[in-house]
Structure 1
Amino acid sequence: MDRRDDNPAPTRDGLVLGAHWGFLAFFAGLGGYYLLSLIFSAFLADGGSGTLSLPSLGPLVLLAFVPNILLGLAPAVGSWRLGRGLRADFGLVPTGRDVKVGLYCGLLALLTGYVLNLVLIQVYGTERLSQPLDEVFGGIASSLGWLVVAAVIVSVGAPLTEELLVRGALWNGLAHHRVPPWVILVLTGLVFALLHSEPARMVALFGQGIVIGLARLLTGRVAASLVAHAANNLPPALLLLGGS
C-alpha cells in the first residue's frame, strides 16, 4: 500500500549521464570513504613510528568514524539535490512493520553470523578471527565515556551510514534499472561484506548482509534494514561496554 511511496523515483527523474543518481551517490560515498581512510591511516601512522599517546585514543574513536560518515552523506546529498528527499527515496522514518521485520531479520542475522563464524573458526582458527571491535577500540577500554560513544557509533551510527549507501542509494539505483530483486539482494549483500574489509569473515558477513537485506526486500524501506542492522550490531556494542 504505502510501500510504493518509498520506491525509487520514476524512470525519467534524477538521471545522471543516463543512470540513476543512486549510482553517483554510491561511488562518491565509497570513494570518499576509502580516500579519507587512507589519509587518516597515513596521519595516524605518525611518520611510520606507529606510536600514539594514550590521551589521543579517546578522540580517535570519533576520528575513525569520520570516513564512515561519507558513506551516508553522499546518498543524503544525492537525495536532497537529485531525488525526492530522504523520506520518499529511502523511507527512513520507521513504521511499526519496519521495526517488527527489522528486529526479526536482525536476530536472524545474528544467528547466521554466529553459525558461519563457528564454521570459519574451524577453517581459519581463532587467531585470524580475532574480534574486530577489540582491535579498533581496545585502547579505550579503561574509559567508560569513550566506550559509550563507541557503542553508539557501532549500534546506530555505522548502521545508518552503511544502510543509506548499500540498501539505499545502490539498491534504489539497481531497482530503477529493473534489476531483479533477488539479484539486488545478493549484490548488496556482497558489497556489504566487502565494505567491512575482513577477508577471514567474508562468508559470515555476506550471510549477514543477505539477511539484513531481506528486511529491505520485504518492506521496500531502508528503515527496516536499518533496524535489522542496528539489532545485529547491538550485542557486540554491549559486549564492548561490558569489557570496561
Structure 2
Amino acid sequence: MEHGDEQPAPRAVDGLVLGAHWGVLAFLGGLAGYYLLSLLVAGVVFSGDIGLGATQLPALGPLVLLAFVPNVLLGLAPALGSWRWGRGLLADYGLLPNGRDLRVGLACGGFALLAGYVVNLVLMQVYGPDRFDDPLHEVFGGIAGDTAWLVVAALIVVLGAPLTEELLVRGALWNALAHYRVPQWVTLVLTALVFAQLHGEPTRMLALLGQGIAIGTARMVTGRVGASLVAHAANNLPPALLLFASS
C-alpha cells in the first residue's frame, strides 16, 4: 500500500467515542482517577503519619500540594478529551471568562455564598454546631504560621479547585447531558448533586447542593464554563481569606 493511501487516526464522529459522547468518558475517567489517586495519597499520608513521628510537622507544607493532586485529574480528563475528540477548551467549554461571564458569575457566586450560609445556619439549629467542622481548617490548619504555604493553599481553594471541578462537572458532564438533550433544569440539578457528592461532606450536603445550583445557574444562563468558574471562585474566596484571618 502506498504511503499516500494511509488513513488518518480515527476521530470522534458527532462527538461519539465507543458509542457514547466523549464527555461521558472524560467525566467517568476524571472521577475514577480522582478517587483512585485519593486512595493512594491517603495511603502515603497515613504511612507518613506512622513513620515520620517528630519530623511530620515540616512536611505539612508539601502535603498541601499532595492533597490537591487528585483534583488535577478532575480537570485533566475533560481537557484531554476536548483536545483529542472535541474542538478545544475554548470552543467546547468557553473556559476563558468574558465580561458577561464576570457579571453573571459574581452574581451567582454571591447567591451561592448566601445559599450555603442560610442552609448551614438552619442545619446548625437542627443538629448543633459540633456537627459542622470547617473542612479548610482541618486540611490547612497545620500551616497557619507559614504565609507562603497559606498563599499556595488560598490559590488552590480560589483558582485550582474551581478550575478542575468546573471542567469535570459543568464542562464534560454538562456537555454530555446536553448532547443527549437532557432538559437544562435536570442538568442543573444533576450536576449540582454531583458537585455536592464530590466534596464528601455529608453534614454539608444540602448546603453544597444549594451552592451547586447557584453556581450551575451561571453556566446555564451564559452557556459557558467561564461564568460558573467565576461563580465558584467567588464562592470560595471568603473561606480562603479566613485562612489568613485565623493564622
User: Is the contact between residue 155 and residue 230 of structure 1 (CA under 8 Å) also seen in structure 2?
Assistant: yes
- Where structure 2 has 5 or more consecutive residues not aligned to the other structure, the ranges are 1-11
Matches within 5 A, 1:99-178: 99-178=102-181
Counterpart amino acid of 1:174? Answer: L
Distance in 1, matches of 2:175 and 2:148, equals 38
For residues 41 and 147 of structure 1, the distance between their equivalents in structure 2, rounded to whole angstroms, comes to: 21
Q: CA deviation at 1:12?
A: 4.5
Q: Deviations over 1:144-179 (max 9, x none)?
A: 110010000000100000000000000000000100
Q: Quote the Cα distance in structure 1 between the aligned partners of 2:31 and 2:227.
A: 22
Unaligned runs of 5+ in 1: 1-10
Give 1:120 shift.
1.1
* In structure 1, distance between residues paired with 2:244 and 2:57: 19
SS at match of 2:50: coil
- Per the alignment, in what secondary structure is the counterpart of residue 156 of structure 1? helix
Give the match for residue 228 of structure 1. Answer: 231
Partner of 1:42: 43
User: TM-score of the superposition, structure 2-length normalised?
Assistant: 0.92
Where 2:14 maps in the other structure, the secondary structure is coil
Higher deviation after alignment, 186-195 or 47-56:
47-56
Deviation at 1:49, TM superposition (A): 3.0
- Report the identity percentage: 72
2:85 match: 82
Alignment partner, residue 62 of structure 1: 65
Q: Which moved more, 1:82-91 or 1:12-21?
A: 12-21
Paired with 2:127 and 2:144, the residues of 1 have a C-alpha distance of 27
Alignment match, 1:4 = none
| TM-score in terms of structure 1 length | 0.93
Number of matched pairs? 234
**Letter of the structure 2 residue corresponding to residue 191 of structure 1:** V
- Matched residues in 2 for 1:124 and 1:65: separation? 30
2:196 is matched with which residue: 173, 193, 199?
Answer: 193
Please name the residue that 2:24 is paired with: 23
**Structure 2: how far apart are the matches of 1:235 and 1:60?**
22
Distance 1:146 1:240 in 2: 11
SS of 1:22 mapped into structure 2: helix
Structure 2 equivalent of residue 3 of structure 1:
none
- The alignment's C-alpha RMSD in Å is 1.4
- CA distance in 1 between counterparts of 2:156 and 2:127 reads 29
Alpha-carbon deviation of 1:13? 2.1
Per the alignment, residue 210 of structure 1 pairs with 213
Query: Aligned-pair distance for 1:17?
Result: 2.0
Read off the aligned partner of 2:50 and give its amino acid letter: S
Q: Is contact 1:105-1:215 (8 Å) kept?
A: yes
